[in-house]
Chains A and B, each alone.
Chain A
Amino acid sequence: MYRAFWKIVKRDLQLQKRRGADALTAVMFFVLACSLFPLALGPSPEDLAWVAGSIIWVALLLAVILSLDPLLRVDFEDGTLEQWLLSSYPLSLLLAARVLSHGIWVGIPLWCMATVVAVLLQLPDKAIGTLMLSLALGIPCLSLIGLMGVSLTLGLRQGGLLLALLLLPLYIPVLIFGAGAVNQSLEGLPIQGHLALLAALLLLAIPLAPWVAARSLRFSIQ
């Protein structure tokens, strides 16, 4: 059973490598969105440093939502998802594999890019470590919650906008704890609470999200 899991992960990664564009688009959007803020706020480094963490988190949220759209769509359109439904493997496992490959292919580049952007946005060094940590916990969370959203809106009209409308309220706790951690570290305050809560959300999402997504997928596809 776990062989199926890893097979799907490997297959997805290979497909992504050939297609190539999805991760790049998400990362470029992320950098673009982050760059808009200095243009809007003014170049003063002190001002930027205070909001850099929050900017990065919000832009990341939006980039992840944009990158989620093709998560299941291609397989839905060519019928692979129906095969998944009919197969003897638990659907939640297969979906978890899809999320993992998405996390690797899109999440890791976003995470690396966030470091670069953090420097661009004048985030002080002590906060960058916290940013990296909070993003490392947060990005998988966002992908998992996003999986639930995608499986609910698969095949519906206005899919992309509807997806964003559904996901953003669900993302708010992750945003609060993640951006909060970065802002705390800017002021030199302890961050363990925020990171612990982020970790708790992640641990909650890992078993629940694929299961919920599997249930919704059965309703979406009929």
Chain B
Amino acid sequence: MGETAGSGTTMLNIDLYGPYVWSCYALTITILGWQLYRVIRAQKNLKQKLKVQGILC
């Protein structure tokens, strides 16, 4: 049932993981990175706004 990739070594068999494992990790990193980006961007916008209001230097 389903293809199992690789013959089961534990070292750097990058090519044999197949698309599934890599897409999982890529998806995770992308989504978490997007959230991080969102938070940092909100902070930057806030700083900008505060600068305009003269509260920040």
Tell me if chains A and B make direct contact, with any CB pair below 8 A.
Answer: no
> Chain A interface (Cβ within 8 Å of chain B)?
none
> Chain B interface (Cβ within 8 Å of chain A)?
none
